[in-house]
């Protein structure tokens, strides 16, 4: 198995003077389309741009592609008088003042979801891992759910919302929780069970297509991938690639277990949600529940256990160096920790925005 990769990142478009989110009136998308074709697209809010890699053969390829995309979008934005920022929420911009992109699909979502959609001013990282076998993909999604809070804790990068320190390391998921069909999915016995669920929702006009299922992990409705969607967009490419490499290794490890008729325990969604809450609130500095031991464990220790769990597949994937970057995240803190430190030093959210925009292009 190749375990190919795809990465999507959502960026903030920022006014360099006011440091507010600003509508770029799709100028960035229009310019980027000339050189990046369909790798850049508009989002519901006009202050957002989304990029997506092509299929990546491995993490080295993924790093090259996402670096190129960040660099290109940053350069185009600068030429047009904007900056880009990679963080799960903007520190102080208000959603009420943001313009919506004119588009029939977005109009339809706004009509149905109203202020939950208008206020959904958040920025995520989505990682795809190639998996053409839908039956296997459903099994892997079931098993991967346990590790979603670990991945989320590592990516936490949205401590501020509308000018307030929220007390959370990631407030982004609290904003997104207002949407239907979000969060940790339940367990599906097989792909037919999942298809029946989707068909029932379509038949009863809950959704018109399975793209409106926005879970933290899903079998992608159109691509031959499973997609992890729980993470905040990280500040730096190094963090994005570290988290991507860990996701790929988890899929490879769980696939390997399944091929040897070994199953990873499927825990109830309600239990996994306890860990998701803790990851959102405390990031890497809290405790999560080890359900096997039925005990609280330092999140940092669980990260080291995660590394042990995937260790035997990492060299085959060629991603040891990328995964070892987790030690830098544990040492320096996640994006949220570093944003909060800048705010402690300056008591100035515009300085936090400057830090975000600097970090977004760091090392490119």
**What are the mean pLDDT values of the chain's consecutive 10-residue runs (364 residues total)?**
96 97 93 94 91 98 98 97 98 92 84 85 97 96 98 98 98 92 96 96 94 95 96 98 98 96 91 98 97 95 97 98 98 98 98 98 93
What residue numbers bound the domain in which 275 lies?
A: 5-360
207 in helix, strand or coil?
coil
Q: C-alpha angle with apex 20: 14 to 25, nearest 5 degrees?
A: 55
The dihedral sign for the CA sequence 217, 74, 82, 344: positive
pLDDT of residue 100: 86
User: Which residues are 350's β-sheet partners?
Assistant: none
Number of domains in the chain: 1
Q: How many CA atoms lie within 13 A of 4 on its CB side?
A: 12
Report yes or no: 317 and 245 within 8 Å, Cβ to Cβ: yes
Q: Cα 238 from chain centroid? A: 14
pLDDT of residue 28: 94
User: What are the distances in angstroms from CA 208 to CA 109, 141, 212, 282?
Assistant: 11, 23, 8, 37
Q: What is the dihedral of CA 301, 344, 47, 220, to 10 degrees?
A: 10
pLDDT of residue 108: 86
The residues, ordered by sequence, that sit 6+ positions from 24 with a Cβ below 8 Å of its Cβ are: 13, 46, 47, 49, 77, 80, 82
pLDDT of residue 356: 98
pLDDT of residue 53: 98
Integer Cα distance of 161 and 172 in angstroms: 9
Integer Cα distance of 354 and 349 in angstroms: 9
Instruction: For the chain, list the strands marked E by DSSP.
Output: 5-14, 40-42, 48-52, 83-85, 124-130, 160-161, 164-165, 182-183, 214-215, 217-219, 225-232, 287-290, 295-298
**The model's pTM:** 0.97
pLDDT of residue 256: 97
Residue 145, domain CATH: 3.30.590.20
218-223: long-range pairs with CB below 8 Å, 24+: 218/141, 218/185, 219/131, 219/134, 219/137, 219/138, 219/141, 219/191, 219/194, 220/128, 223/6, 223/128
In terms of C-beta density within 10 A (0-12 exposed, 13-18 middle, 19 or more buried), how is residue 176 classed? Answer: buried
Integer Cα distance of 53 and 56 in angstroms: 7
Q: Distance from first CA to last CA of the chain, Å, rounded? A: 31
Tokens found for residue 102: 């004119």
Residue 39 DSSP label? G
């Amino acid at each position: 198995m190749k375990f190919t990769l795809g990465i999507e990142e959502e960026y903030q478009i920022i006014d360099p003077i006011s440091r507010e989110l600003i509508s770029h009136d799709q100028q960035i998308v229009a310019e980027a389309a000339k050189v990046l074709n369909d790798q850049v697209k508009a989002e519901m809010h006009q202050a957002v741009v989304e990029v997506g890699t092509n299929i990546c053969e491995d993490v080295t390829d993924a790093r090259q592609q996402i670096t190129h995309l960040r660099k290109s979008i940053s350069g185009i934005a600068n030429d047009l008088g904007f900056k880009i920022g990679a963080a799960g929420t903007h520190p102080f911009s208000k959603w009420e003042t943001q313009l919506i992109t004119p588009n029939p699909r977005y109009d339809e979502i706004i009509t149905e979801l109203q202020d939950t959609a208008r206020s959904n001013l958040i920025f995520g990282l989505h990682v795809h891992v190639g998996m053409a076998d839908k039956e296997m993909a459903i099994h892997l999604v079931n098993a991967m759910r346990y590790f979603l809070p670990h991945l989320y804790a590592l990516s936490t990068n949205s401590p501020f919302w509308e000018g307030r320190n929220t007390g959370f390391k990631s407030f982004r998921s609290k904003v997104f929780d207002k949407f239907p069909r979000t969060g940790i999915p339940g367990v599906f016995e097989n792909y037919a069970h999942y298809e029946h669920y989707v068909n029932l929702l379509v038949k009863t006009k809950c959704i018109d297509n399975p793209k409106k299922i926005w879970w933290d992990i899903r079998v992608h409705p159109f691509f031959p991938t499973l997609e992890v969607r729980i993470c905040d967009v990280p500040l730096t490419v190094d963090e994005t690639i570290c988290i991507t490499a860990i996701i790929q290794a988890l899929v490879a490890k769980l696939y390997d277990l399944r091929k040897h008729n070994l199953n990873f325990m499927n825990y109830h969604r309600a239990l996994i949600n306890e860990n998701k809450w803790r990851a959102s609130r405390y990031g890497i500095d809290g405790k999560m529940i080890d359900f096997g031991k039925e005990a609280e464990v330092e999140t940092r220790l669980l990260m080291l256990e995660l590394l042990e769990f995937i260790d035997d597949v990492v060299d085959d994937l060629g991603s040891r160096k990328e995964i070892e970057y987790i030690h830098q995240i544990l040492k320096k803190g996640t994006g949220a920790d570093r944003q909060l430190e800048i705010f402690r030093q300056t008591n100035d959210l515009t300085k936090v925005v400057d830090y975000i925009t600097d970090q977004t292009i760091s090392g490119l």
